[in-house]
């Protein structure tokens, strides 16, 4: 966007397990090059088809604790039986290069990021219904029935925190959802609070213009 701010926007995307966050992220990144998706560290085991460094950095509990001790994580949280955390270096370097960075993280981590970086944009992805959520999480077939129940239970708790988010995004039709997400982030770039230098310059120019025409 010409003339708009060059600093990237940090967006946090959260949502119930099985809502389709991963699917939405993958499609967004395929369609638009402006985004950088942060790859988290986790202590959970890889699912079939997941690749080290692509979906996650898979680490042992000890390795994860070392990262915490080294202050390498921007935030971390426990989700069901595992730990998940965001490496800080990647996020900082991408934002300073003007890329829009997306963190796909759960709600406790989202709140920590918002506290640390108040200008973070918070988006909550929900399925069209909770029946559909259950269908999707079971249909994915990557968790045991026991783990699925824990995740569905967690969804009930996470719903309590939804109103802390700036936007609610319903993932019904995938393509529509991806477009809506892209539009939200693009609109965010145009906000006056994110363009203070340009607002100030325009105010000064407008002042100069009115002084000139008043003297005619
Ligand atoms: P999350 O990352 O939120 O846990 P996933 O991206 O793994 O969710 O999606 C959960 C399941 O739902 C997957 O099997 C995926 O293919 C399916 N899914 C995702 N988005 C949609 C959609 N818009 N319509 C139908 N199924 C979807
Ligand atoms: P999954 O095991 O389904 O990949 O992820 C479980 C949950 O952990 C999801 O809600 C996902 O968004 C979240 N998550 C993934 N990475 C991180 C992270 O770095 N930090 C936090 N707090 N949550 C994460």
Nearest ligand by distance to the CA of 138: 1
| Rounded CA separation 46/55 (Å) | 9
How close is the Cα of 182 to the center of ligand 1, in Å? 18
User: What pLDDT does 1 receive?
Assistant: 43
Sheet with strand 56-58: strands edge to edge: 56-58, 40-42, 82-87, 73-79
Domain co-membership, 63 together with 48 = yes
Domain co-membership, 47 together with 143 = no
Judged by phi (left if over 0) then psi (alpha if -120 to 50, else beta), residue 18 lies in left
Q: Which domain holds residue 65?
A: 39-97
Q: pLDDT class for 7, splitting at 50, 70, 90?
A: confident
User: What pLDDT does 179 receive?
Assistant: 98
Domain co-membership, 5 together with 53 = no
The ligand 1 site (C-beta within 6 Å) comprises: 15, 17-23, 136, 139-140, 171, 174
| Rounded CA separation 183/196 (Å) | 21
- Per-residue pLDDT reduced to its tens digit, 71-118: 999 999 999 999 999 999 999 999 999 999 999 999 999 999 999 999
CATH of the domain at 152: 3.40.50.300
How close is the Cα of 193 to the center of ligand 2, in Å? 30
Q: Which atom of ligand 1 is nearest to the CA of 125?
A: 3
Domain co-membership, 112 together with 162 = yes
Domain co-membership, 180 together with 76 = no
Cα–Cα separations (whole angstroms), residue 92 to 6, 103, 108, 182, 185: 14, 12, 20, 21, 18
Domain co-membership, 125 together with 75 = no
Domain co-membership, 126 together with 215 = yes
How close is the Cα of 22 to the center of ligand 1, in Å? 7
For residues 76 and 109, the answer to whether their CB atoms sit within 8 Å is yes
């Amino acid at each position: 966007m010409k003339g708009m701010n060059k600093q990237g926007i940090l967006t946090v995307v959260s949502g119930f397990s099985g809502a389709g966050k991963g699917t939405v992220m993958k499609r967004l990144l395929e369609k638009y090059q402006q985004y950088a998706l942060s790859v988290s560290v986790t202590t959970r085991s890889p699912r079939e088809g997941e690749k080290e460094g692509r979906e996650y950095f898979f680490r042992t509990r000890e390795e994860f604790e070392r990262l915490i001790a080294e202050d390498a994580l921007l935030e971390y949280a426990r989700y069901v039986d595992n730990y998940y955390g965001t490496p800080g270096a990647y996020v900082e370097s991408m934002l300073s290069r003007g890329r829009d960075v997306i963190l796909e993280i759960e709600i406790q981590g989202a709140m920590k990021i918002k506290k640390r970086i108040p200008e973070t944009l918070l988006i909550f992805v929900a399925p069209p219904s909770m029946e559909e959520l259950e269908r999707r999480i079971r249909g994915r077939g990557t968790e045991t029935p026991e783990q699925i129940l824990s995740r569905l239970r967690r969804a009930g708790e996470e719903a309590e925190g939804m109103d802390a988010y700036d936007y609610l995004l319903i993932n019904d039709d995938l393509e529509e959802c991806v477009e809506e997400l892209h539009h939200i982030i693009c609109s965010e770039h145009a906000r006056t609070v994110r363009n203070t230098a340009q607002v100030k310059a325009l105010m000064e120019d407008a002042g100069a213009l009115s002084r000139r025409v008043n003297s005619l």
